[in-house]
């Protein structure tokens, strides 16, 4: 604290010597996060002091994320990765959303004092394990160390707090040490580091003693190695057969795959779903394939395990948010929703929210019953024949603006160079030897002078 005070004093002294207006000297907060004490009071900075979520930087809680080998991370009190730290539990089991992951740090809800704010600003009035929180704060998703959201809006296991480090909350509300929760080894229901000869093990397997004078290194006794365990993995002194809970190869330390994302361990010692890589977070591995759902198909609908994105949908396959695709019959599929607006009743216009629009305005442009588009008023000045246009040409390209019916490129619009053409000028990136320039200046042809274009300059 003394050295920090001296640093602030020194800064003020230098500023005064330079004739600054000292009323404008910025406030320098204390390194402990000031009043927040847990990394700021908003959702981006790691949760409020009362919630105790995250550290001062609002960063990633210890134990976060799925490992490269697809083993499930420690689902303990630190709770995995949070989007801004508001869901982390590095402040302790009583520290707010223990073990939770922020679902959405978007707009604050209104009139949501008894619930939490979910994606898009929706208020979840009855918080649950998927959307947990209180007092209108951003909802968090409880991790495996909790099985419910208590009345205080905190992730909990049974009637108690979320489980401690290396433990998983069972369905009956008790904390257990499992292959998925503990990276070290399990001694009863205690997760041990597994790095001593008396308690050696990895991947949540049972802790064991290393025999004789064998040492323990990273959960493996020295007697278990590539020579003694070429086709499996090691936990303590034991060579384990490859499996979802004991994955590894050539005598490496065993680790557990996420059982929802993978269903086998490959001969190379990597977690897989069927013959492919593990499924992404939130997507279950079913029958050797990654299922289609709202996590990996939020912008489309699911036809079995195939995601049909919005731009690929037809009246026969329509939907959104990862729900099952449906048929619109004689209607149209517009932005994932069936609409009665179709070519028969709107052949000369476009469809907007199920209504037929003339299709000749900047805010609703289109034809042949297509989905109306919104023209960029900076790059177009009219909608003609269902297309956004600038004067008699098409809409201006990025880097140009539509002025008086012509596309104009200048230093205000283009970071590259401006090339003159029919109907106006257009912006080029400025890195080509035949169109070289920067800061909205005129493009130059470097070949004329026998030069090359380097950083927007012929040289």
Q: Would you list the DSSP string of 161-186?
A: E---TT-EE-TTS-EE--TTT-SSEE
pLDDT at 359 over 50: yes
pLDDT over 50 (residue 162): yes
Q: pLDDT tens across 84-136, in order?
A: 333 333 333 333 334 465 544 444 677 888 889 887 678 888 889 888 999 88
Return the pLDDT at 108: 63
- How far is Cα 36 from Cα 46, in angstroms, rounded to an integer? 9
Distance between CA atoms of 126 and 385, rounded to whole angstroms?
50
Residue 377 tokens, joined: 């008023």
pLDDT band for position 149 (cuts 50, 70, 90): very high
pLDDT of residue 100: 60
- Domain borders along the chain are 52-176, 300-339, 345-394, 401-458
Write down the pLDDT at residue 208: 96
- Measured at the CA of 6, the angle between CA 3 and CA 10, to 5 degrees, comes to 140
- Please check the confidence at residue 368 and state whether its pLDDT lies above 80: yes
Closest by CA to 415, choosing from 399, 431, 396, is 399
pLDDT at 447 over 60: yes
Confidence (pLDDT) at 53: 35
Higher pLDDT, 164 or 88: 164
> Environment class of residue 64 by beta-carbon count within 10 Å: exposed (0-12), middle (13-18) or buried (19+)?
middle
In percent, the amount of the chain with pLDDT more than 70 equals 76
What local confidence, expressed as pLDDT, does residue 290 receive?
Answer: 92
The yes-or-no verdict on residue 81 having pLDDT over 70 is no
What is the mean predicted confidence (pLDDT) over 206-225?
A: 96
Q: Is the pLDDT of residue 51 over 50?
A: no
Q: What is the pLDDT of residue 159?
A: 94
Q: Span 185-201, mean pLDDT? A: 96
Q: CA neighbours within 13 Å on the CB side: how many for 282?
A: 13
The mean pLDDT value for 316-328 works out to 90
pLDDT higher than 60, residue 382: yes
Q: How far apart are CA 273 and CA 265, in angstroms?
A: 9
pLDDT of 210 higher than 70: yes
Residues 6+ apart with CB under 8 A from 28: 8
Q: Which of 22-36, 39-53, 193-207, 272-286 has the highest mean pLDDT?
A: 193-207
State the pairing for strand pair 185-187/205-206.
Answer: parallel
374 and 368 Cβ atoms separated by less than 8 Å: no
**Mean pLDDT, the chain, whole residue set:** 78
Rounded distance between C-alpha atoms, residue 368 and residue 381, angstroms: 21
Q: What is the pLDDT of residue 3?
A: 44
Mean pLDDT over 67-92 rounds to 34
Structure token digits, residue 459: 């040289």
Q: 300, 319 in Cβ contact below 8 A?
A: yes
pTM above 0.85, yes or no: no
Share above pLDDT 90 across residues of the chain, in percent, rounded to a whole number: 42
């Amino acid at each position: 604290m003394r050295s920090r005070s001296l640093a602030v004093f020194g800064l003020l002294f230098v500023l005064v010597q330079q004739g600054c207006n000292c009323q404008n000297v910025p406030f320098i907060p204390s390194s402990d996060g000031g009043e927040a004490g847990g990394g700021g009071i908003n959702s981006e900075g790691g949760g409020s002091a009362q919630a105790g979520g995250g550290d001062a930087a609002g960063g990633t809680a210890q134990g976060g994320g799925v490992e490269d080998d697809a083993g499930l991370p420690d689902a303990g009190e630190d709770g995995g990765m949070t989007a801004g730290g508001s869901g982390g539990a590095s402040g302790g089991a009583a520290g707010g959303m223990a073990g939770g992951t922020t679902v959405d740090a978007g707009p604050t809800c209104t009139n949501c004092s008894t619930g939490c704010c979910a994606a898009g600003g929706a208020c979840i009035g009855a918080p649950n394990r998927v959307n947990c929180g209180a007092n209108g704060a951003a909802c968090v998703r409880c991790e495996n160390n909790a099985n419910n959201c208590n009345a205080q809006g905190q992730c909990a296991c049974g009637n108690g707090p979320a489980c401690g480090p290396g433990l998983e909350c069972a369905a009956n509300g008790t904390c257990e040490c499992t292959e998925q929760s503990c990276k070290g080894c399990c001694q009863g229901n205690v997760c041990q580091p597994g790095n001593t000869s008396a308690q050696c093990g990895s991947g949540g397997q049972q802790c064991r003693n290393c025999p004789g004078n064998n040492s323990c290194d990273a959960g493996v006794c020295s007697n278990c190695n590539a020579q003694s365990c070429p086709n499996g993995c090691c936990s303590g002194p034991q060579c384990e057969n490859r499996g979802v809970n004991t994955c590894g190869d050539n005598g490496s330390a065993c680790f557990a795959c996420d059982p929802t994302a993978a269903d086998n361990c490959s001969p190379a010692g990597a977690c897989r779903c069927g013959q492919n890589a593990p499924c992404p977070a939130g997507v279950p591995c079913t029958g050797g394939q990654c299922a289609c759902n709202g996590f990996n198909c939020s912008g489309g609908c699911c036809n079995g395990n195939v995601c049909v994105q919005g731009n690929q949908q037809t009246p026969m396959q329509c939907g959104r948010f990862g729900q099952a695709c449906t048929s619109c019959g004689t209607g149209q599929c517009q932005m994932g929703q069936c609409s009665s607006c179709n070519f028969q009743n709107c052949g000369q216009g476009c469809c907007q929210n199920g209504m037929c629009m003339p299709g000749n305005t900047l805010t609703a442009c289109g034809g042949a019953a297509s989905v109306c588009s919104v023209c960029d008023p900076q790059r177009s000045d009219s909608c003609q024949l269902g297309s956004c246009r600038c004067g008699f040409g098409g809409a201006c390209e990025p880097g140009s603006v539509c002025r008086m019916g012509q596309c104009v490129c200048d230093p205000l619009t283009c970071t590259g160079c401006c090339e003159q053409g029919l109907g106006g000028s257009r912006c080029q990136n400025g890195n080509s030897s035949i169109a070289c320039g920067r800061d909205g200046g005129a493009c130059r042809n470097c070949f004329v002078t026998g030069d090359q274009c380097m950083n927007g300059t012929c040289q």
